[in-house]
Structure 1
């Protein structure tokens, strides 16, 4: 199965100059824990609810702080025509639960979660990936 068969294609993006409060409000509106961050048509990062909690709130930063100051700037992604099994294996390797989905022109076309992939028949592989994601690792430090 291809990623395009199970990804969410109604992705909301936000700019790095927008505030943490705006990001949190957008996440609440769409009931999601992640927003891709873009400058123009270029993906420059992602902001997660965890980024807001650990990198901002825990440090006492105000809600007016720009997203660009706390977002995860290392963008991991997959392509819409990638095979879902390969993407799940990659998610386990890089220990992420969600990935922005790009077309081959590197334009954002969606977002895929481990849950999306599991719901489309990849439950066993999703379980293996989730097991790898849950392992202690220094891959994703919340320190800036």
Structure 2
């Protein structure tokens, strides 16, 4: 049975907690990505997306020299590299996630996204995840 290791993007782009918004935005531009993991001692402590930068910083006119940790989403949900693709699709749907860092022994080894489910699987797993992500939450 295929696992996350089979479809993940290996070696995701990461920064340390003291990276600035400008540094992260520049990485996103150079790497053509929409999210960056914040890691400390090879363990994820946060994640920031291009949308986070726009909504949480740019919209309020904040300084781009500010540490990225002021704008990250903490409590990063991760999954083990040996987890099943079906479990990842279910977790994405239930938690309304677009991406999940993949770990091995607690260390980040990859990233799986909704796009990975769409492009690298067969059987509509991306549809299951997308339907869950698209459901409004009771916030």
Give the TM-score taking structure 2 as reference length. 0.93
Q: Secondary structure at the match of 1:46?
A: strand
Pair 138,70 (structure 1): closer, same or farther in 2 beyond 3 Å: farther
Q: 2:36 & 2:123 partners in 1: Cα distance?
A: 25
Counterparts of 1:22 and 1:135, CA distance in 2: 33
Match of 2:121? 121
Tell whether the 8 Å contact from 1:47 to 1:71 is kept in structure 2 after alignment: yes
1:30 counterpart residue number: 31
Question: SS of the counterpart of 1:119?
Answer: helix
- CA deviation profile, 1:70-110 (whole Å, cap 9, x unmatched): 1101201111000001110100000011110001x101100
Alignment of 1:94-133 (within 5 A): 94-103=95-104, 105-133=105-133
Consecutive unaligned residues in structure 1, runs of 5 or more: 140-144
More strand by share: 2
Let me know the Cα RMSD of the aligned residues: 1.3
Q: Distance in 1 between matches of 2:21 and 2:127?
A: 32
Q: How many residues align?
A: 138
Correspondence list, 1:15-94, <5 A:
15-94=16-95
